[in-house]
Amino acid sequence: MLLKKVRKRYKNRVKQCRLKALVETQADLAKLTGISRSTLNNIENNKIFLSSYYGLLIAEALGCSLSDLYERKDGGNGN
């Protein structure tokens, strides 16, 4: 029940962070993280919720914080 509430309230910013880190493609990020490109595509398109496990891998690969990867749909930054 809580996961549904959180999913409705947050979206991820993986694509924006990836491009800011100059990682041009999902395939490049897949190589850095070990996450499949198809899973990254689903994450970037908010088809699946960005889990903390994947979030930590992505944040480490992109040199950003975990909180940079999430955005509140109402305009907040997730903090």
H/E element, 67 = none
For the segment 3-48, what is each residue's pLDDT rounded down to a tens digit?
788 778 888 999 999 999 999 999 999 999 999 999 999 999 999 9
CA distance 75 to 34: 31
CA distance 18 to 55: 12
The CATH number, out of the four listed (3.30.1330.10, 1.10.260.40, 3.40.1380.10, 3.30.160.340), of the domain defined by the range 2-71: 1.10.260.40
Q: Is the pLDDT of residue 51 over 70?
A: yes
Domain ranges within the chain, ordered by starting residue = 2-71
For the segment 57-77, what is each residue's pLDDT rounded down to a tens digit?
999 999 999 999 999 887 655
What is the predicted pLDDT for the residue at 75?
64
